[in-house]
Structure 1
């Protein structure tokens, strides 16, 4: 068995050394989110309503993200991200709400679901690759899976608005490592249409500030604490849709370089 493992090590080590894949970093984060703002209006006669109207600001909501980053040599990186955000709240309406022509009278007890799920792919090019400081720039494209609905608890009314769309953004990421090996990171995705796309006005932003610490001497596994602000929305006149939201997150997470861990495991055998 040891001879077989040694043979695998001898074959795998040169292959990894010659591969353009210098790192494969898996990342998971979780923590509470708070809704600062979530305004909506749906339909030609739709009523403007806010997060307060449907009790979205009375609680914190557990969230999570999963990402996988492939580092190709020293300069190039590709990131795949899954970012779900799915909450349901219950409220007794204090005013009439018209949602796509269906009116929910004041006093109606309603359940409201808000789903904003993102599947994002990003490319980053490392402009600065110093010993303690790195700076990367690039772009992201995100498939947005969105759904908003209202349903009367007594079953008398139900209506929804759903959409799958493609969103692009510019991206940048900075990281500085302190002499203590603690590191600080800033990552941002952002884009605004500035009203240039016909009768649609919209924008997105996703900004995270991170404090990380290596969990071992090899620095291929890191734990971190992260503050994130996320927001955006659109005013789409041709579909009579308006939605704009701003959210805050307090997160903890872990990231691990799978390539380095595999190489370490092979060397130990």
Structure 2
């Protein structure tokens, strides 16, 4: 509740400031279908049993929603807040014992899995190129991940949670196709020895009016970490539909 109140306060503040200095404030929502490409797990990372939340325990296709608030100053400086929850649930039998987070789940028993990877991001991006038909910006994202992987059977239950900070490079490219249609490539991405993270969307945008823009596209979310505590690499596919409402066109 406290986090929600702080977020609401920030959004209202952005809106009031944008009105006072003629900046631009926009709200964006995205929804659609989420598919698991792969999701490989071993916990602990150096001693646990390797298993898949795609092949061994099948995670169901699910819906998703992402909400973003954008504040743009002088057409080039964009600040944004993103809330991007992710949760998949699966069931299945594995033909081997699974040592997971200190507990052993016996082979050929029905297992239920829960995978959570909620993301909270604060982004600053500077528009380097600002032409009528082509725009490109580059920036930095501070990401807080709220992750959890859980397994349960009729007799056992265990969950591994992790909250952490991840710095990522942000980019956005827009190309004008016609007066109303455009092509958008945007995302956050970074690789390091400890792991990697990519969240990238390719979409066709449609300018309906001065206030409303729509887009239809494909998003990929991929990444993971490999250390003594956790081994987890995952890939998710998004079929997405987005809408943006601009308050100060």
User: Would you say same fold, with TM above 0.5?
Assistant: yes
**Matched residue count:** 231
Contact 1:184 1:210 in 2 (8 A): yes
Alpha-carbon distance, 1:17 to partner: 7.2
* Whole-angstrom CA distance in 1 between matches of 2:137 and 2:110: 49
As a proportion of its length, which structure holds more helix? 1
Cα shift readout 1:229-263 (whole Å, capped 9, x = no counterpart): 111100122x2x10000111111111010234xxx
Contact 1:91 1:111 in 2 (8 A): yes
* Whole-angstrom CA distance in 1 between matches of 2:61 and 2:107: 25
| TM-score, normalised relative to structure 1 | 0.82
Runs of 4+ aligned residues of structure 1 deviating over 6 Å after TM superposition are none
As a proportion of its length, which structure holds more strand? 2
- Please name the residue that 1:53 is paired with: 56
| TM-score, normalised relative to structure 2 | 0.88
Query: Secondary structure in 2 aligned to 1:259?
Result: coil
Alpha-carbon distance, 1:16 to partner: 6.3
- Please name the residue that 2:133 is paired with: 132
- Residue 165 of structure 1 pairs with residue 164 of structure 2: yes
5+ long unaligned stretches in structure 2: 1-16
Alpha-carbon distance, 1:95 to partner: 1.9
Change (3 A) 1:180 1:93: same
* Whole-angstrom CA distance in 2 between matches of 1:228 and 1:160: 28
Contact 1:102 1:159 in 2 (8 A): yes
Contact 2:18 2:71 in 1 (8 A): no
* Whole-angstrom CA distance in 1 between matches of 2:85 and 2:144: 12
Alpha-carbon distance, 1:208 to partner: 0.5
* Whole-angstrom CA distance in 1 between matches of 2:103 and 2:83: 33
* Whole-angstrom CA distance in 2 between matches of 1:185 and 1:60: 25
Larger Rg: 1
* Whole-angstrom CA distance in 1 between matches of 2:144 and 2:232: 17
* Whole-angstrom CA distance in 2 between matches of 1:204 and 1:72: 28
Contact 2:30 2:241 in 1 (8 A): yes
* Whole-angstrom CA distance in 2 between matches of 1:202 and 1:65: 24
5+ long unaligned stretches in structure 1: 1-14, 196-200, 261-269
Alpha-carbon distance, 1:18 to partner: 5.8
* Whole-angstrom CA distance in 2 between matches of 1:135 and 1:256: 21
* Whole-angstrom CA distance in 2 between matches of 1:248 and 1:176: 23
Cα shift readout 1:179-220 (whole Å, capped 9, x = no counterpart): 332011100211111x2xxxxx2010111011111222x3x2
- Residue 242 of structure 1 pairs with residue 231 of structure 2: yes
- Residue 256 of structure 1 pairs with residue 245 of structure 2: yes
* Whole-angstrom CA distance in 2 between matches of 1:243 and 1:208: 22
* Whole-angstrom CA distance in 2 between matches of 1:172 and 1:84: 21
Change (3 A) 1:16 1:69: closer
